[in-house]
Structure 1
Amino acid sequence: MARGELMKKLLASYGRDEEFRAVAEQIIDEEEKKNNRVLARSLRKTLETGPSPSRPSGPKGLAPLIPFPDAAADFIERVEPTHARNDIVLGATNVRVLLGLIKEYRRADDIRRHGLKVRSKLLFCGPPGCGKTLCAEIFAAELGLPLFLVKLDRLISSYLGETAGNVRKIFEFARKQPCVLFFDEFDALARSREDSSEHNELRRVVNSLLLFIDNIRPKGFLIAATNLDRSLDPAIWRRFDEVVWFDKPSKSMIGRFLRLKFKNVSVAFDPLRHASALDGYSYAEIERVCIQAIKSMIVERRKQVLERDFNRALEDEVRRRAGQSRLAPPS
């Protein structure tokens, strides 16, 4: 592309961080092709160390984006954060662990100068709907790192011999790009090799996966999440620097979550009185109850959520749970 057109694109994209950086990278690539290496190096250094045109909630700003590789494009999706730290309720232990990881990342150079490793490979475990994916999103935003979701349905190829190669492409991307690379439903890829029902080729995929996790030193974080931690291959566990457990919320955490969900609407009752009735529910289930109660107010053109709205929404969730329990396999 002509230099003038690139400059116009650069100015037009100012304030949209990802587009701005992508065009800036194109300009730097053009200078490198012209053998203007001193200028290219200077531009790249300015791009990576200068302030971002727009800054997220994290104090370090956005990490520089490398050109998205064609090799990994089919298997990775960029996810734009839509939540902030106040949108999640975590237990004290998880808050302490995650804050410690953020502090470590920000002092990574100092830690490495002392010959120590920075924790960068995390395993999130716990039942569905308890905040693993949301936590990964907020964690990335706090660090100022882009979040990339691994599309497992495409990664696990119908041609089994290609799966290990697909995994290699993703890990190569994470080695170069400062980011949070998020594997959801990780058990689909890292299932125990002792499982007699698994195909030999899938066992070879696990062997490759173990090597990739061992060898990678991501510039950001690798996060794997699973609802089925007992299905993971035993050798997987020691490959991760930290394991974070997500449990169903306690009564006090349910209360905090209810306050969070109703903070922007007027209610004619105290939602916290219902915290005991929600014991044993996941955050996703409680959120569904709250949203349904708010929608009832909107549909009936009222200005307040009534207690009957909440009770009916809770009854629907109880009915839904009962139906799911009938579908569950016998223990």
Structure 2
Amino acid sequence: MARGELMKKLLASYGRDDEFRAVAEQIIDEEEKKNNRVLARSLRNTLDAAPARQSKPKALAPLIPFPEAAGDFIELVEPTHSKQDIVLSSENTRVFLGLMKEFRRAEEIRRRGLPVRSKLLFCGPPGCGKTLCAEIFACELGLPLYIVKLDRLISSYLGETATNVRKIFEFARKQPSVLFFDEFDALARARDESGEHNELRRVVNSLLIFIDRITPKGFLVAATNLDKSLDEAIWRRFDEVIWFDKPDRRLTERFLRMKFKNITVAFDPISYAANLGGYSFAEIDRVSTQAIKSAIIEKRKEVRESDFRKAISDERRRKHGRTRITQSG
């Protein structure tokens, strides 16, 4: 997008913190693509140093009486994170802001005979923010978050799983909420896979019908680490497919700034961004947390470089051990 258009969007979004930050991120991305790295770094530091305005907690949508029929399969989750706890690409930030605006103007959109996006598919490797994003998305919208308990939903008794899924969708049709299916591939596995018996094929057939027919009061969100295992017919049932990738160097730097923002350090954590290439957000979070805990255990007021280096070493040992186990299996 041309610089002039971005500047107009920036000024137009003044006073709306989320939109202002999203446009600022786009401007910084443009400067980085042009190799204006000094300017981009300066803009980034200025943006990160600006005090974040704490948004008022949003009141949850009224809860309908918890249905006994679905109670065994869903769990209400109280949010423990806010938008200050997540790092998203500028593209995903733009998508989620658009979804929130659309949700808030849903009645007006529907009155004009247009559909409202409400069925989302999150794809990407483990540890890249899918579950955390669902929690924060629900919190920002003022909607309760319900997580589907797949271990109970998938019944060992033939014929019951599709019935259980129907109960879940009936609940989502009535209750304004974010209904979150993690490990969605366990339900929506490709029907042509060898070894899949007729019961699982029937479950996928039922699932396709339920997703097609439902118009959620809030959002239906499905997440998978195994997008290639999903049945081909599943994809077109979702209004949006959002990809969560492992962070590049720029996003790693942003995450490290966030993690150490209020921590006294004796080194520059950002200088280690290149060493964390290929790590997920969850892995970088584990490294950072372990380094901070090391200082607390040693009764020091600052985190040292040696703490961080040791935490990276421990994470590498963990990753390499997992690789050996996978190869031997």
TM-score for both structures, normalised by structure 1: 0.81
1:59 CA drift (Å): 7.5
Partner of 1:184: 182
What is the 5 A alignment of 1:255-270?
A: 255-270=253-268
1:327 CA drift (Å): 2.0
Which residue of 245, 257, 265 maps to 1:247?
Answer: 245
Distance in structure 1 (CA, Å) of the matches to 2:55 and 2:100: 13
Partner of 1:91: 89
Please say if residues 121 and 222 of structure 1, whose CA atoms lie closer than 8 Å, have aligned partners that are also in contact. Answer: yes
What is the 5 A alignment of 1:165-184?
A: 165-184=163-182
Which residue of 292, 295, 315 maps to 1:294?
Answer: 292
1:205 CA drift (Å): 0.3
1:105 CA drift (Å): 0.2
1:113 CA drift (Å): 1.1
Distance in structure 2 (CA, Å) of the matches to 1:330 and 1:200: 32
What is the 5 A alignment of 1:162-241?
A: 162-241=160-239
Partner of 2:10: none
Distance in structure 2 (CA, Å) of the matches to 1:140 and 1:250: 26
- Matched position secondary structure for 1:160: coil
**1:136 is the counterpart of 2:137:** no
Which residue of 123, 126, 149 maps to 1:125?
Answer: 123
Q: Give ranges in structure 1 of 5+ residues lacking alignment.
A: 1-55
Amino acid in structure 1 at the alignment position of 2:242: V
Partner of 1:12: none
**1:71 is the counterpart of 2:69:** yes
Distance in structure 1 (CA, Å) of the matches to 2:129 and 2:200: 29
Partner of 1:285: 283
Distance in structure 1 (CA, Å) of the matches to 2:57 and 2:281: 28
Distance in structure 2 (CA, Å) of the matches to 1:261 and 1:156: 38
Larger Rg belongs to: 1
Two-structure CA RMSD over aligned residues (Å):
1.5
Distance in structure 2 (CA, Å) of the matches to 1:84 and 1:278: 25
Amino acid in structure 2 at the alignment position of 1:307: E
Identity, in percent, stands at 73
The superposition leaves residues 201-238 of structure 1 with CA deviations (integer Å, 9 ceiling, x where unpaired) of 01100000000000000000000000000000000000
Please say if residues 57 and 141 of structure 1, whose CA atoms lie closer than 8 Å, have aligned partners that are also in contact. Answer: no
Partner of 1:26: none
The superposition leaves residues 114-149 of structure 1 with CA deviations (integer Å, 9 ceiling, x where unpaired) of 100000000000000000000000000000000000
1:158 CA drift (Å): 1.1
Please say if residues 122 and 222 of structure 1, whose CA atoms lie closer than 8 Å, have aligned partners that are also in contact. Answer: yes
Please say if residues 191 and 204 of structure 2, whose CA atoms lie closer than 8 Å, have aligned partners that are also in contact. Answer: yes
Partner of 1:309: 307
Check 1:330–1:239 CA distance in 2 against 1; reply closer, same or farther (3 A cut).
Answer: farther
Please say if residues 258 and 272 of structure 1, whose CA atoms lie closer than 8 Å, have aligned partners that are also in contact. Answer: yes
Per mean C-alpha deviation after superposition, the further-off stretch among 240-249 and 261-270 is 261-270
